[in-house]
């Protein structure tokens, strides 16, 4: 198991870089994980990440990429967001990458 240091806290990650504990997440954790991936989070990223966390909190599963795109696509891009767009802003796996940055458990992220 690995960990990252965020604001003086030791945040445990599994071997694939996903948070071990959903409750350890905050925006600083997401920014640190994104930095490891050489990604700067923009408003578009946050729209997707926040939606994924809210959806997971409500249903205890992550949204599929189709549900995510339907729900927040217009907020991400003025004319909507395609799966290709999602893959572009989350270059390490589209919905799976967003899932990881949102702090969702890895076992659920494979459903994206």
Domains and CATH numbers, the chain: 2-109 (1.10.10.370)
Angle, helices 43-59 vs 27-36, to 10°: value is 120
Residue 110 backbone dihedrals phi, psi, to 5 degrees: -70, -15
Looking at residue 112, its pLDDT comes to: 67
Tell me the CA end-to-end span of the chain in Å, nearest whole number: 24
Looking at residue 80, its pLDDT comes to: 66
Looking at residue 87, its pLDDT comes to: 79
| Segments of the chain with pLDDT less than 70 | 1, 78-80, 111-112
């Amino acid at each position: 198991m690995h960990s990252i240091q965020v604001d003086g806290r030791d945040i445990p990650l599994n071997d694939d870089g996903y948070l071990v504990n959903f409750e350890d997440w905050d925006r600083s954790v997401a920014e640190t994980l994104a930095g490891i991936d050489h990604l700067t989070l923009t408003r578009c990223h946050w729209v997707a990440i926040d939606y994924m966390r809210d959806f997971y909190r409500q249903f205890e599963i992550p949204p599929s990429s189709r549900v995510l795109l339907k729900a927040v696509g217009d907020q991400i891009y003025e004319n909507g967001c395609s799966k290709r767009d999602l893959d572009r802003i989350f270059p390490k796996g589209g919905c799976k990458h967003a899932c990881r940055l949102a702090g969702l458990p890895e076992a659920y992220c494979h459903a994206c």
